[in-house]
Amino acid sequence: MTNKSILYEYWQTLYPATSTERLDQFLSTLSPVAGSNEVQDWYKDAIVYALYVDLFNSNFNGLIDKLDYLQDLGVSCLWLLPILDSPMRDAGFDIKNYDRIRPDLLGLPETASKREQTQVFKEFLKAAHEHHIKVIFDVAINHTSDQNPWFIESQKLTPNKYSDYYIWREQPDKYLDARLLFKGIEDSNWEKLGDRYYFHRFFSFQPDLNYRNPEVLLAMTENLLYWQKMGADGFRADAIPYLWKEDHTSCENLDNTHIIVKFFRAVLDYVNPGTLLLAEACQKPKEVVKYLGNGDECHAAYHFPLMPMMFKAIAMQNGEPVKRTLSSEVTPKINKENQWMTFLRVHDELSLELVYVSEEDRHFIHSRYCHDPKWDFRVGEGISARLSELMKRDADKIALSYSLMLTLTGTPVVYYGDEFGKFNDEDYYNEQIRLTGKDDTRFLVRGRINWEQLEMDLSDENNFHFRVFELIFGMLNSRKKQKAFGRGETQFIEMYDQEGSIRPEVLAYYRIYKDEKLFIINNLSDCTVKLVNPIPEKDMAILYPKGMRVEDPNNQIVLEPFGFVWFLVLE
Which amino acid would we find at residue 339?
Answer: Q
CA distance 321 to 327: 10
Q: Omega before 109 cis (within 30°)?
A: no
SS3 455: helix
| Best CA proximity match to 50, nearest among 276, 278, 306, 346 | 346
Please enumerate in sequence order all residues whose Cβ is within 8 A of that of 491, keeping only pairs 6 or more positions apart, or say none: 509, 510, 512
Listing from the earlier edge strand, what are the strands of the sheet with 350-351? Answer: 350-351, 382-383, 376-377
CA distance 524 to 458: 27
Helix%, strand%, coil% for the chain, nearest 5: 35, 20, 40
Tell me which H or E stretch contains 551. Answer: strand 540-551
Spell 94-107 as b/e; 16+ CB within 10 A means b: bbbbbebbbbebbe
CA distance 440 to 349: 10
- Tell me the catalytic residues: 238, 280
Contact 288, 342 (CB under 8 A): no
Residue 143 DSSP symbol: B
> What's the Cα-to-Cα distance from 301 to each of 79, 167, 231, 357, 520, rounded to whole Å?
14, 28, 22, 18, 24
CA distance 330 to 142: 27
